[in-house]
Amino acid sequence: MKKLILLLALSCIITSVVFSQVKVGRYKIELDDPIGDVQENDGKPGKDVVRVSIVSDGENLHIIAELKEKIAFYLNDQMAGPVIEMHFNSDNNNATGGIAFWGNDKKGFEYQVNLVACIKYKDGGLACLGSVGGEIEGFISSYKVYEYEQDKKMPKNTNNALDSTQKDITGKLVEITIPYSTVGIKSGGRMRIAIRESDSSFDDNSYFPEVFFIIK
């Protein structure tokens, strides 16, 4: 009897721990992230994300990454690039799809979307990775979309980081809007999302808690 009680207690603890690692969102969700958990990028400060929010409106996903500092702090030294990487299990089935590169236990993803911070130059140039040099005019957000193959770790790029939904970045918020069709979801569906801070460590610790998301 004592063994049975102990096993039940352990089961409850394990269930509680597993559940605590998954955040449930209905139509919208916000995830906080510790300050200072990023690495330098080519000797420059890593883009330190402190909060990510996702909102569904029936047709699009609106995604905002909030940085610790204003965008100019990170990009004035010519280091454009991804801010967060989002892995979408669009059919909510872990048996179908690919595997997130930095995390062997993260399986079943159909799409990866990188939220990117780009640099605009006064001569008309644009850099969404690294730099092209010249005098900086401002900063914009964009995204790159990748599609996974079954059980593969390296998804294929399906668009450029020059999407028409670019938004100016003037402060700490990097925003994008993604149509449902881009990541294979429909209104009323459910999916799982794993989000990784791009300038963080290259292991499971770079991920936010996974999200079980109910789509409006």
Residue-wise pLDDT for 98-147, tens only, equals 998 876 678 899 999 999 999 999 998 888 888 888 899 999 999 999 99
Q: Quick check: is 61 in a domain?
A: yes
pLDDT at residue 168, rounded to an integer: 92
pLDDT at residue 50, rounded to an integer: 96
Q: Quick check: is 196 in a domain?
A: yes
- H helix or E strand, kind and range, residue 12: helix 2-20
Residue 79 belongs to domain with CATH number = 2.60.40
Instruction: Identify the DSSP state of 181.
Output: G
Q: Quick check: is 116 in a domain?
A: yes
Considering only 47-61, 111-125, 161-175, which range has the smallest mean pLDDT? 161-175
Q: Quick check: is 8 in a domain?
A: no
Tally of structural domains, the chain:
1
pLDDT at residue 125, rounded to an integer: 86
Q: Quick check: is 15 in a domain?
A: no
Q: Quick check: is 60 in a domain?
A: yes
If 0-12 CB within 10 Å is exposed, 13-18 middle and 19+ buried, where does residue 56 land?
A: buried
Residue ranges of E strands in the chain: 22-26, 28-32, 49-56, 60-67, 81-89, 98-99, 107-109, 111-121, 126-127, 136-147, 156-157, 167-169, 173-179, 190-197, 210-214
Quick one: what percent of the chain has pLDDT higher than 90? 57
Quick one: what percent of the chain has pLDDT higher than 70? 87
Q: Quick check: is 157 in a domain?
A: yes
Bridge-based pairing of strands 107-109 and 98-99 is antiparallel
The Cα angle at residue 17 between residues 12 and 21, in degrees rounded to 5: 145
The two tokens of residue 123 are: 């001569």
Other CB atoms closer than 10 Å to residue 110's CB: what's the count? 22
pLDDT at residue 165, rounded to an integer: 63
Residue-wise pLDDT for 19-38, tens only, equals 347 899 999 999 999 898 88
Considering only 64-78, 91-105, 157-171, which range has the smallest mean pLDDT? 157-171
- Tokens 């995830």 locate to 31
Q: How many helices (H) and strands (E) does the chain have?
A: 2, 15
DSSP-H helix ranges across the chain: 2-20, 71-75
State which residues form the domain around 76. Answer: 29-214
Higher per-residue confidence, 62 vs 129: 62
Q: Quick check: is 16 in a domain?
A: no
- H helix or E strand, kind and range, residue 75: helix 71-75
pLDDT of 10 higher than 50: no
